[in-house]
Amino acid sequence: MRHLGTETIETDRLILRRFVLEDVPYAYRNWCCRDEVTKFLRWPTHTSEEMTGKTITDWISRYDDPAFYQWAIVLKETDEPVGTISVVDRDDRCELVEIGYCIGDRWWHRGITTEAMKAVTAFFFERVGVNRVEARHDANNPHSGEVMKKCGLKFEGLLRKSDWNNQGVADMCIYGLLKDEYLH
């Protein structure tokens, strides 16, 4: 793998880019403060812009690390961040990255997360040289799995009581895509 860090990626409707401090009010308002959005995530719903600011400040401080990947999902038409997509886990020995994403509920079911996930998947296979991209979701959140399927990831199984989120200990559905599958 050749870690490249969080490079800007452009799609038809989106710019995936590094966060900047000016994103804090958008991030707070659009997804961080929304219980419905954080329901199946590991981090708590933010109760203040200050809380969101601390998170984004931490991300910004880590952008010098070429193995750190954290993108703002920005709509081209409004130049407004509506979510985030990132590497939530990686194993350099196995050349794999696990992708996680989150988008404000006002933008659900519009294909935005799928568009972002496809772009990031391509980036990791074509530029970074990973051998495997994987993602997981709470079994009670099947819409997240639909994004994974639309991006070519294959359902590999249910890991019973194997992870936790804001709902407690949960069953996780795991999906994966290998480089040779992606290339063919």
CA–CA distance, 96 with 8 (Å, rounded to integer): 21
Q: Are 26 and 81 in contact (CB under 8 A)?
A: yes
CA–CA distance, 163 with 156 (Å, rounded to integer): 16
User: pLDDT-derived band of residue 91, with 50, 70 and 90 as boundaries?
Assistant: very high
Specify the pLDDT at position 156. Answer: 98
Quick count: other Cβ atoms within 10 Å of Cβ 100? 17
Mean local confidence (pLDDT), 64-75:
98
User: pLDDT-derived band of residue 28, with 50, 70 and 90 as boundaries?
Assistant: very high
DSSP string, 109-150: TSSHHHHHHHHHHHHIIIII--SEEEEEEETT-HHHHHHHHH
What DSSP element (H or E) covers 82?
strand 80-91
CA–CA distance, 29 with 49 (Å, rounded to integer): 8
What DSSP element (H or E) covers 35?
helix 35-38
Closest-CA residue to 34 (of 45, 23, 42, 49): 45
What angle (nearest 5°) sits at the alpha carbon of residue 153, between those of residues 147 and 155?
95
**CATH of the domain spanning 9-134:** 3.40.630.30
Q: Are 121 and 97 in contact (CB under 8 A)?
A: no
User: pLDDT-derived band of residue 78, with 50, 70 and 90 as boundaries?
Assistant: very high
What DSSP element (H or E) covers 103?
strand 96-103
Structure token digits, residue 164:
């936790």
Q: Are 9 and 120 in contact (CB under 8 A)?
A: yes
Looking at residue 158, the DSSP 8-state letter turns out to be E
What DSSP element (H or E) covers 174?
strand 168-178
User: pLDDT-derived band of residue 124, with 50, 70 and 90 as boundaries?
Assistant: very high
Q: pLDDT of 34-57, one tens digit each?
A: 999 999 999 999 999 999 999 999
Averaged confidence pLDDT in the chain? 97
Q: Are 151 and 117 in contact (CB under 8 A)?
A: yes
